[in-house]
Amino acid sequence: MNLTSQDSSMSSAAITKKRAVAPRSGRKPADTPPLSDPQPASQIGGPSITNLTTKLAEYLTPAELKQVKEAYRFSDEVHLGQMRKSGEPYISHPIAVAEICANWKLDAQAIMAALLHDVMEDQDVKKDELIEHFGAPVATLVDGLSKLDKIEFQSQIEAQAENFRKMLLAMARDVRVILVKLADRLHNMRTLGVMTPEKKRRIARETMEVYIPIAHRLGLNNIYRELQELAFSHLYPLRHRTLAKAVKAVRGNRREVVSKILESVGTTLAANGINAQIDGREKSLFGIYRKMHIKHLSFSQVLDVYGFHIVVDTFANCYLALGTLHALYKPMPGKFKDYIAIPKLNDYQSLHTTLIGPYGTPVEFQIRTQDMHRIAELGVTAHWLYKDEKGNLSDLQQRTHAWLQSLLDIQKQTGDSAEFLEHVKVDLFPDSVYVFTPKSKIIALPRGATALDFAYAIHTDVGDQTIAAKINHEPAPLRTELHNGDIVEIVTSTTSRPSPNWLGFVRTGKARSAIHHYLRIINLGESLELGKHLLSQALASLNLNPALAPLVVERLLNESSAESLDEIYADIGVGKRMASLVASHIVGLLENEPLLDLEYVDTSGRMDPVVIYGSEGISVQLSPCCQPIPGDHITGQFKPDQGLMVHAEDCNIAKRQRNKDPDRWIEVLWSEDLNRHFDCRIKVLVHNGKGILARVAAEIGDSDANIIYVNMEDDKDQMLTQLIFTIQVEDRVHLARLMRSVRRIHGVTRIRRDRS
């Protein structure tokens, strides 16, 4: 089922009738009448094709119009008898989508794809048939717009994620896919009123989370704003109606203020010799709601912010107009942004300034040239993505191409559709920070991005080999959040490798997918063995034979979208799948499949603890929060894509997380054969005195422990110093012996293990 379809399915009888009346195979493009010919009966009551014909004739050649006409006839024939929920013939929807694309002056292939975009999905037309009639480029576009209804997924969420992944990857190869899809979504949102409230909310939320950020990322501000408004009206209908009523009530009071500002600004600019077009804009209802929600403002406070566009003739006049406005009204401190010198990711350019206007009200001005205004409204459609005759790309084309390419990079590093979608959604949100390389190149990153995100933005290899960072020429942790204007330098080493802990603070999808990809590869053997062990234990706890029959494995792979049993084991080993859930799923297969026999074995019915040897790699990690050592009672937590985290049982963080998600915890215990040292922290409170640090350090060394970190905290009022050591010991017995030795040193007041 189409996630956004508003169309009822055509009956099998209607399909039979359609193909009997008008077989498609014998039709030739050159033999068909022009688009302006009388419309077939299926179109009665729907929108006329005349508007589309008129728009296309403005920029397409006669030969291209013939091709579009054939696509229209084909689509009308295929959808004959199919109706929309509104009662209109289905063909009205493809025509409306094509008309939106024609407003953007998309080429003939894109218009044809718009007319045909549902024939594969709704009517089971094969790609080969489209290639035969319209060529491979059009068929590929339509295929990219079609969903994966024939594949069975474990959940609606997984199906939705896979559909989005297919669409975004098709978009990465040809941006026309997403332009047609946005037109499709826009028309569906405009006609969403006939749907049930539940479906309205689902489609509106999907639009808000994915399609609106994509429209913003491509600079399609007209579509971006309209989709926002439509999604808001269907997602929160009562709030939308309340705000609409309030805005209508005060609109007359605002007219006087707007007129006075327009008159004052126009007169002042003309007096300074600046030729400009000025228009005031009313805040959208969603813009009002978002500002009220985020900043906890009242309706009247938000409504007092007015917005004006000033479009001038030259680049230099943008800055002259800015100075003129600042002389006319007082600027608000910190409310100026120069997007001309540093454009946004979608090539948006303007000067933004907020001034105190008449009656003390804040007024926002956006100053730009005519070309900047065109790009601000039309985005990537303002100048087409493809190369010109000389093979050159504009700055916008290069940035868009780089972003689309990054989708392919994330796809290569991601093995899961939902994970891929989450990575992409992170990068779609519009708030950005702009930072500089040491050579003054500007890098744009999502707000909240860290120095490590910057490293991965430069190149995946740079991120993987990062060991340190400098921000504004000062050393800084890799997790440091970046701010506008920061100069960032990355220090690398060929021996450095990504750490699972990095996943806790990176912000960008590219960084997260690259780290996940490395951890999967380097950790595959360990994860596979651990996962196999855990699944065997889970099956044994259900009194089932851990040795799976080939037919069971085949059924399991078919229903889990995994390519091999080893992939399932590896997913369990890194916490991506839960062994208990996989075991329960196998039981369901055995019970529901008559050809498979339940093979019970005599077991204790409970899972044996996982043995911790201390020499494991990335698959098993000792948690840094409590730093457990042999002798501590321990417990294990599976964290997605980080494997098994071992905590001390009395760790406060572990207790809180176990209460939230108890299913991810298993029993673990220390092996009796341990031959290594383990990190732990101790705090030693001492009297300030000559040589006290040296004596404590010497005693720790004499106790056969290694010091790997030391810090000091002075308390000058009481003449005391707290020494904080990270040391390596064999076990709790070794640590207790060391602490007794240190406690006997003259000047030591207190010593304790730090497990905060």
**3-state SS, one letter per residue, for 587-599:** HHHHHHCCCCCCC
Q: Is 251 left (phi over 0), alpha (psi -120 to 50) or beta?
A: alpha
The Cα 129–Cα 119 span in angstroms is 11
Catalytic residue, chosen from 99, 122, 162, 567, is: 122
Looking at residue 615, its amino acid is: S
Cα 415 to Cα 21, 420, 570, 582, distances in angstroms? 46, 8, 12, 18
Which residues, in sequence order, are CB contacts of 335 under 8 Å at separation 6+? 352, 353, 354
As a whole number of Å, the end-to-end CA separation of the chain is 52
The Cα 598–Cα 590 span in angstroms is 6
The Cα 130–Cα 135 span in angstroms is 7
C-beta atoms surrounding 327 within 10 Å: 10
Name the packing angle between helices 417-428 and 395-413 (round to 10°): 150
C-beta atoms surrounding 641 within 10 Å: 19
CA angle (291, 295, 296) in 5-degree steps: 100
Taking the alpha carbons of 477, 482, 485, 488 in that order, is the dihedral positive or negative? positive
C-beta atoms surrounding 262 within 10 Å: 14
Q: Which two tokens stand for residue 46?
A: 């729907």
Cα 710 to Cα 84, 534, 696, 713, distances in angstroms? 72, 39, 11, 10
Catalytic residue, chosen from 121, 427, 489, 730, is: 121
| Closest C-alpha among 550, 674, 531, 544 to residue 610 | 531
Based on DSSP, count helices (H) and strands (E) in the chain, helices before strands.
Answer: 30, 19
Question: Is 673 one of the annotated active-site residues of the chain?
Answer: no
DSSP string, 103-155: HTT--HHHHHHHHHTTHHHHH---HHHHHHHH-HHHHHHHHHHS--TTS--SS
For 353, the enclosing helix (H) or strand (E) is: strand 351-356
Looking at residue 359, its amino acid is: Y
Question: Is 121 one of the annotated active-site residues of the chain?
Answer: yes
What value does the CA radius of gyration of the chain take, rounded to a whole number of Å? 32
| Closest C-alpha among 566, 676, 680 to residue 615 | 676
C-beta atoms surrounding 324 within 10 Å: 20
The Cα 356–Cα 363 span in angstroms is 6
CB 262 within 8 A of CB 269: no
Cα 697 to Cα 547, 737, 739, distances in angstroms? 54, 15, 12
CB 491 within 8 A of CB 438: no
Collapsing DSSP to helix, strand or coil, 640 comes out as coil
| Closest C-alpha among 548, 545, 536 to residue 580 | 536
Taking the alpha carbons of 339, 342, 346, 349 in that order, is the dihedral positive or negative? positive
Q: Determine the longest span between alpha carbons in the chain, in angstroms.
A: 105
| Closest C-alpha among 54, 123, 130, 35 to residue 82 | 123
Per DSSP bridges, beta strands 610-612 and 665-670 are: parallel
Give the residue ranges of DSSP H helices in 6-61. 12-21, 50-57
Name the packing angle between helices 237-271 and 285-295 (round to 10°): 100
Q: Which two tokens stand for residue 147?
A: 């969903």
- State the catalytic residues: 121-122
